[in-house]
Amino acid sequence: MKADSDYYLGIDVGSVSTDLALLDSFGNLIDKVYLRTKGQPISIIKKGLKILDEKWPGIGINGVGTTGSGRYLAGVVVGADVVKNEITTHAVAASRVNSEVKTVLEIGGQDSKIIIIRDGIAVDFAMNSVCAAGTGSFLDQQAARLEIPIEEFGKYALQAKKPVRIAGRCSVFAESDMIHKQQTGHELPEIIAGLCEAMVRNYLNNVAKGKEIESPVVFQGGVAANIGIKKAFEKELNCPVYIPEHHDVMGAIGAGLLAREFILKKKRTTSFKGFGIANLDFTTTGFECDGCPNHCEIVNIFQGEVLIARWGYKCSKWDNLNDNTG
């Protein structure tokens, strides 16, 4: 692999997982890395870069994009060329796999979202990061409670002849209802299928409320691996639901595609710091500013002993990175 090869990197840092997508010069995915964030985004980013560097020694990265809840942190650490929100990156990635897509359903470990696309442009969206009942973490908990591998959860749902109705508006009520259904003798496939349908109802009644859902529909995010949820969506929407091959890293793919577009349009060289980042030391510190009633919570990030970024403030007081008062 030549060092001057034309490749792009997308990084999606979320609360549950950190995903890296390596794209070729045409924007095609050639490799991906999926890691659990475990509350340590910087060390996990470094681990992901090390994995790619070992698999693709000498590869040249022409552009990097970051997304997810930790996109700004990731952008500073790696030297990103573009930093974009999840709505934009998921919409871009979905349009890449299906240029006619009109609705994107996305359910991750801790949140869920819907994106409405018309003529290739995201015109509306909604997100939910409050209710756990409609996320992957809740499915993980129930799979563990039932002692079923989460990978097998959807297969059980497809075995159901008549799904039981589960109260899905709240994770506490849903779990209680599942236990009650078990105690009254319902079979496991019927209960699991009922849970999948409850999750979908919860999603459509909350996240997608008031949204005009039109086909083609693309379903992405980690929960898209659950074929029981896919079937429940198709039943409720009465239309096919398409799941991309790399549904689990679509945010990272979108970030990589946007980085590619930025570099090619601007004819710029990348700000990427290189795979050597994996060997650098980064630390973060925080403090509360008492300069005004806002009491902003300021976050500093250091590379070694050098302050390289700061955010969280609402005025210009902390713009000067040479001021290490905090």
Tens of pLDDT, residue by residue over 223-273, are: 888 888 999 999 999 999 999 999 999 999 999 999 999 999 988 899 999
Q: Are residues 46 and 180 in the same domain?
A: no
Distance separating alpha carbons of residues 294 and 198, to the nearest angstrom: 41
Give tens-digit pLDDT for 68-109.
988 999 999 999 999 999 999 999 999 999 999 999 999 877
pLDDT confidence of residue 89:
96
Rounded (10°) angle between helices 136-145 and 188-206: 160
Domain interval for residue 85: 7-89+251-279
Q: Are residues 208 and 292 in the same domain?
A: no
The values of phi and psi at residue 282, to 5°, are: -120, 140
Average pLDDT score over the chain: 86
Q: What is the mean pLDDT of residues 282-287?
A: 86
**Could you tell me whether strands 7-13 and 112-118 are parallel, antiparallel, or unpaired per DSSP bridges?**
unpaired
Q: Are residues 266 and 155 in the same domain?
A: no
Domain count, the chain: 3
> Residue 94 domain-assigned?
no
Q: How many residues does the chain have?
A: 326
CB within 8 Å of 63: residues ≥ 6 apart:
8, 9, 81, 82, 256, 259, 260, 262, 263, 270, 272
Neighbours of 208 (CB within 10 A): 21
Query: Is 233 in contact with 207 (CB distance < 8 Å)?
Result: no
pLDDT confidence of residue 57:
92
SS (H, E, C) 173-199: HHHHHHHHHHHCCCCHHHHHHHHHHHH
Q: Are residues 103 and 238 in the same domain?
A: yes
